Chains A and B, each alone.
Chain A
Amino acid sequence: MPVGSRGRANAILLVAGIVLAPVKPTPPAGRAAPDFSRTDLERREIRLEAYRGKVVLLNFWATWCEPCIAEVPRFAEWQRKYAGRLQIVGVSMDDEAAPVRTAYRRYGLNYPVVMGDEKLAELYGGVLGLPMTFLIDGNGRIRFEHEGAIDLAVIEREIRELLPRS
């Protein structure tokens, strides 16, 4: 869903759809993605700003979250498919790293996963439901965000929309 366009835009579009011709919504520029720095499961220093120029899919997830587990293999696939232009970053909201390391190996994750906490969650407006995914463009602006399980074809379409032309 385009950032900032939730309920009000739906109402506007509903009215527009009945009274006027249908209008294709244009995603707003979006707010700047808050920068953060964490050490990932492989003990590498991860800094969000270092991925400027690439599209970043920032995914808050947890090993106990069924819909999250259903998504992560696709994210690994996209990391391969769009290598060099897309960077997936996982933020685990598990309380302990051990089950995350197990899941990391089990699902063949090929992108950095850091451990989250309430501070990082609050930077992104509060994460009290999973999965939560933010799509950040090459200029570091959040362009789409999704809470809960959604059709991954929608997210992939949004990624392709944001990817720099090759």
Chain B
Amino acid sequence: MRGTTALTMTGLLALLCLLPGDAHGQQAAAPPDDSIPSAQLLQPEDLVPLLGRSGGEKPLVLQVGPHVFYAEAHVSGSEYIGAGKEESGLQALRDRVKSLPHDRFIVLYCGCCPWKKCPNVRPAYRQLASLGFSRVKVLYIADNFGKDWVTKGYPVEKGR
């Protein structure tokens, strides 16, 4: 009996080690030294219900990373803009938003690299902030779009 209990406990321990971080109640936190205010970050699980809204305002979701990655998989309904680290990408972003009201709800994302290494989201965020857009969120992708969005079963589309 005691041996069975020990084995059961060991098995439970092993299963706990297999659970993803958020199943432990952990939230991926943004680094405190980040140049994007934490209030402007949006967790992937919080974007999902916004995409499926039948009423109310849906965010305009813009991908500001590599086009190859967008073609492979992107957030359903999102638009490809261009890499935020390139002037051509920032120009495309300015062109896309020029006719929009400054209180339009916009979500930017990339997911090419781990959050701290992403070269695209910060310049794109700063661009929209400098243009006066007041409701811009940036999707917080801790590792990459594959791991933090696709493999979690969140809605994706393919194609350019």
CA distance A116 to B71 in the complex (A): 12
B73 proximity list for chain A (CB < 8 A): 126, 128
Chain B: number of interface residues, binned into ranges:
20 to 34
Contact of A129 among B17, B67, B147 (CB under 8 A): B147
Which residues of B52-76 are within 8 A (CB) of A? 66-69, 71-73
B43 proximity list for chain A (CB < 8 A): none
CA distance A12 to B85 in the complex (A): 44
Q: B143 contacts A11, CB within 8 Å?
A: no
Within 8 Å of chain B (Cβ to Cβ): is A64?
yes
Q: A95 contacts B67, CB within 8 Å?
A: yes
Count of inter-chain pairs, beta carbons less than 8 A: 86
Within 8 Å of chain A (Cβ to Cβ): is B135?
no
A129 proximity list for chain B (CB < 8 A): 111-113, 143-147
Contact of A14 among B14, B67, B83, B145 (CB under 8 A): B14
For B116, give the chain A residue with the smallest CB separation. Answer: A66
Within 8 Å of chain A (Cβ to Cβ): is B150?
yes
Q: B111 contacts A118, CB within 8 Å?
A: no
Min C-beta distance of B5 to chain A, whole Å:
13
B83 proximity list for chain A (CB < 8 A): 64, 95
Q: B112 contacts A65, CB within 8 Å?
A: yes
B144 proximity list for chain A (CB < 8 A): 128-130, 148
Within 8 Å of chain B (Cβ to Cβ): is A93?
yes
For B68, give the chain A residue with the smallest CB separation. Answer: A93
Which residues of A110-165 are within 8 A (CB) of B? 116-118, 121-122, 126-130, 147-148
Q: B10 contacts A122, CB within 8 Å?
A: no
Min C-beta distance of B149 to chain A, whole Å:
8
Contact of A19 among B10, B15, B18, B113 (CB under 8 A): B10
A15-B10, A117-B71, A129-B111 known; 8 other A-B pairs, CB under 8 Å?
A: A14-B13, A67-B117, A117-B68, A118-B158, A121-B68, A128-B69, A129-B147, A130-B113
Residues of A within 8 A of B (CB): 7-8, 10-12, 14-15, 18-19, 62, 64-67, 93-95, 116-118, 121-122, 126-130, 147-148
